[in-house]
Amino acid sequence: ETDNYLQVIKGMPEEITILPSELMPTTKKQSVIVLTRWPEQYYVALRPKTLEDAVNSVTPSLAAFKKETSEMSLLAILTILFNDVIDFFSVGKSMGQSQLVSTIQLVVEDFYYLNIEDFKLCFNNAKRGVYGKIYDRIDGNVIYGWIAQYAQERACFCESIDDRNKTS
């Protein structure tokens, strides 16, 4: 199945603006292939609405993506994700490039178990104001705080699933 998928992917032009729904991956291996080839388009196409969507996603965790590709590929993908959320907010005090790199490195170290869809859901929640209002600044501390809060919510969600599975 992945071989057929790979053939279809290789037949697609390098430059596409929208990832067609039929190319959305159904396995982690396919997800790595698409993330590597069209990271922005894939990220835009992700539509997690709930923690369950993100937890059950085929997108790889940061650690798995790094293992399958490279640290540079992981940092490139995260730069795209972080820039998306930073660009969303119109604030007077934004992040510089070195702050962005430092924040991404901390996130990779501390939240290596989260997957790409987790970040999409977390950042969409931040855009909706779920983690509080943004008062004229967005920096590493703010973004790290969002991710930490999301990771805590995710851990509680996963615990509740484990508890339900134990009782049934």
Range 126-149 average pLDDT: 92
Q: What's the angle, vertex CA 65, arms to CA 120 and CA 131, rounded to 5?
A: 25
Which pLDDT tens digit goes with each residue over 73-117? 999 999 999 999 999 987 777 788 899 999 999 999 999 999 999
Return the pLDDT at 41. 92
Which pLDDT tens digit goes with each residue over 24-58? 999 999 999 889 988 999 999 999 999 999 999 99
pTM higher than 0.85: yes
Interior/surface letters 54-91, b for 16+ CB within 10 angstroms, e for the rest: bbebbbbbbebbbebbeeebbeebbeebbebbbeeeee
Distances in Å between the Cα of 24 and the Cα atoms of 17, 21, 48, 117 are 14, 5, 13, 13
Can you read off the two tokens belonging to residue 45? 């196409």
What is the percentage of the chain residues whose pLDDT exceeds 70? 93
Confidence of residue 71 (pLDDT cuts 50, 70, 90): very high
